[in-house]
A and B are shown apart, each in its own frame.
Chain A
């Protein structure tokens, strides 16, 4: 049989816990239950490339340094075009991605890929075309078949 002191103790404990719950709910209301996003530092173009590759499940995107690695980046046309070379996590496959700076931010124009058709070549500046040809990426020419 609980004594009066016990009842008083239980009452105060329950009140304390209710207050804690109110604080948690208030914290949720203050943040609007929105996700807090802190983007980790990464090499140039990593974010744009991850967004371009996309994730295989849900909202999880590939992470540079873990799921793929940027091994080389070449810039062209006064830094308004770039070609990034990436390898997959075990280093067994190398792909190229062509990016163009639009409104101050790089966006993926072509790739990732290991072989691009000549028709895609036409939209690129000559300097980028030459670089891709030198790396044997622009090799397929239907006319030669």
Chain B
């Protein structure tokens, strides 16, 4: 048994310590955003944020997460109260099938939390581990640029929803 902190909530997880986080998120906690794309750390669909860093949850065993904070896309916002990154992706219609998008968004969110004004080059380099078979890349880039602007204005006002630990 292990206590796992996800999106600010503690969960008691009954799984072997070598179980990758992805299966715990999806099967034990029943969260949908992190996806199984390859199970090998080669596509990025499983990306979540752990202590502020983007991490491939399909190759991150539970035992590495002792005492750490995990944030998934669900933890950033909802349809009614979306985080800037979620709003940006909706406004740019940045998804075709959408399977890769949660991973893309978490990687982008981690980047923007560390560097609120990345260049286009830096965004591209950061998203390099992520695959999109549909070819939505240009919209994803536009959405990240839009998120930069939205986060800028959000910070200008008071409490910012959608900030991952």
- A in complex with B: no
B: residues with CB less than 8 A from A are none
**Which chain A residues have a beta carbon within 8 Å of chain B's beta carbons?**
none
